[in-house]
Chain A
Amino acid sequence: MKPVAFDYERPHTIEGAVGILSGNSDAKILAGGQTLGPMLNLRLVQPTLIVDVTRIPDLTRIEEEEDAVTLGACITHAAIEDSRFADPSNGFLAEVARGIAYRAVRTRGTIGGSLAHADPAADWLSCLLAVGAEVLLTGPRGKRRVALKEFVRGALDTELAPDEVLDGVRIPRFSRKARAGFAKICRKSGEFADAIGAVVHDSDRGVLQLVAGATRGQPILINGEAEGLGASFPPPLEPVREKLKQSGLVGDAYELNIHMAAIKRAIANAQA
């Protein structure tokens, strides 16, 4: 239960981190360490070098734009839970953050670390897919901005190159009337979910997105317009169920039912 020996570097800039990653293909970024720490201790991960990015000021930045807010990747769940900055989502992010794991995990776990790890049962992945977030990646070839739905390719599988740093998450601003809900079904509170439902409805921006998370692969994103769910809220659920069935990612009838239950609860929370 002790990690293997590794070297430790603590860059103070994103470029510094990228430089270290470029020079060592066996390096691993450490942010809050709430996933990587256990994996290191269990020796599931045995890197030769740990790159601690928590001292990089840019990674706790908040960039306000007219239509979006970018959160630095190292912003913790607790900072979001406690609303330590102006929330672009009318409190939706804080509500989701409150339910992530436990307080002693939330004080260190980071939004960027969670997305980079891309566990299909992670709260941020499903929530931010529904929100329509983008991730900002910086590497030796420059910066790029990737929609989260394209960033995630499967369970623990993302577009992030080994020498890139996920440095921020760009979250579109909700309109005042926007509604959003999140629900998860867990065997124990704070535990990895068996099913996650997330919904964002923002008629002013023409957005209706539903997500079924904690599937057998990446979360399933359902875009209301693309699926012809219409403009009314709550949306019809039969096409949603059909879409989940066809995805091949929700398994048997029991799993389909708990995923639908999570989506229904998320919709109910959005209406509450």
Chain B
Amino acid sequence: MTAITLTVNGQSVSAEITPRTHLADFLREHLLLTGTHIGCEHGICGACTVEIDGEIARSCITYAAGCDGAEIRTIEGFDDDKLMARLRQAFSEAHALQCGYCTPGMLIAARDLIRRKGGLSGAQIRTEMSGNLCRCTGYVGIVEAMARVMAERATLDLPSASVRGARLGPAPGPASSTTGNAKPAAPHRSLAASANVGSASARGTQSPPPVAPTTKGRRIKVEVGSVEEVAGKTRLTQSFVLEHPRDAVWQLMADAQAVATCMPGMKLDAPLPDGRVTGRMEIALGPIKASFAGEGTIASFPAEYRQVISGKGGDRKSSSSAAGEVAYRLRRETGPSGVEVTRVDVELGYSLTGPLAQFSRSNMVRALVSRIGESFAQNLDAKLSTPEDAEILSAPLSMGSLIWRVAFDRLRTGVTRVFGRKS
């Protein structure tokens, strides 16, 4: 539990809360201020809009713990506000509400816009208000009500801006750098940091450190074929050349443990007697982390230099599961210098189920697969070149992160495209 003290509608409130409690829940459940509505609960619909230190914000994605020391104003706190009274009247006259669910957020956002800006056209009002959704689609009435009040702006006693003056960071921010600062535009100087950066730039000698290489060894070009989605399964092909004889490549690739070490994030347990393998794939995409645990089988066809690996696994945290198979075939080719090289043709297919699978089609796969293939091919190459001590650096991309990237992209196109945004 975390102890917080904040001001809500002019009254000081102290409470013990869990850090995961968001501000909207705190207002509704702890203070019974149910005028703040929760619609989407992930920062999309605007129904939960409140003021934090005089600036509008979404209370469902602001955590109450972070509001310690802040001044919160909910729809209940605007009873005596003249501009809000005029807006309520205009909303009533212009039929700007039907079910009323979006109305508290609409009113608070509308008041903030009229406070800040005047003379906007209907289209501009719509753009400015596009972060508040009305599920009855009563936008015509809402825009009309706002236009009426905005037209009277000159005669209205407009409230001043932020209760604590213009700040630079999210409210309430570090008390020392905001409260009582008469000139918010005055730069706050950090001695240590500015000395460091400033002197370096004055000399002009500090060049950015080089980007760390993500894989070791030669760069290997990976050709990626088209990406298809058939019956819920994403399928694609890729192909690359290793400058090693086919038998050497086959020997390595027939060793599941050795191949697994070339795939960043993958760990296999010792093989089971019946030929199955179990293991784990650690993956990360930005802040999203998951660990798929599962099992698979390997079928080898030495006469054709072909192998098919299939597996499936689940991530307990996200309750998502993935299934896929990789089939590859090694072909002998003659390299530019006449020596034998090996072309590796890979066919990859996978599917995702669980919460992440419901979203629309990915659009990032192809570029990602070529980068993943490059990491894998380079690691294989390094291992073949110095088989005993090849140091495989963990690459930022893995087959797993491919899956997550796809999942993320689906999520974003499916959900956020419809509704929301990010910081």
Contact = CB atoms under 8 A, between A and B. Distances in A.
Contacts, number: 317
B370 A248 contact: yes
Contact of B168 (A10, A75, A100): A75
A103 B131 contact: yes
B329 interface: no
A119 B422 contact: yes
Contacts of B212: 159
Contacts of B46: 102, 104
A251 B197 CA distance: 40
Interface stretch (B80-88, B238-246, B282-290, B292-300): B282-290
A105 interface: yes
Given A8-B2, A104-B109, A110-B170, 19 more contacts: A2-B25, A2-B41, A6-B20, A8-B19, A31-B423, A37-B43, A37-B62, A38-B420, A54-B169, A70-B197, A103-B112, A108-B57, A108-B170, A145-B197, A154-B368, A155-B368, A156-B285, A167-B193, A170-B201
Contact of B61 (A34, A103, A168): A34
23 contacts: A1-B42, A26-B289, A38-B416, A40-B20, A41-B42, A42-B42, A44-B408, A52-B66, A54-B170, A60-B188, A62-B168, A65-B198, A103-B56, A103-B109, A104-B49, A104-B58, A108-B62, A110-B169, A110-B423, A154-B396, A187-B417, A217-B368, A251-B366
Interface string A118-160: 1101100000000000101010000111110010011111010
Contact of A38 (B43, B211, B318): B43
Nearest to B184: A84
Contacts of B11: none
B20 A2 contact: yes
Interface string B232-258: 000000000000000000000000000
B421 A105 contact: yes
Given A117-B423, A190-B421, A55 B174 contact: yes
Contact of B170 (A3, A76, A144): A76
Interface size class of A (residues with CB under 8 A): 35 or more
Interface string A46-62: 11001010111111111
A249 B174 CA distance: 41
A165 to B, nearest CB: 11
A248 to B, nearest CB: 5
Contacts of B109: 103-104
A93 interface: no
Nearest to B133: A188
A30 interface: yes
Given A61-B189, A79-B166, A114-B422, A249 B66 contact: no
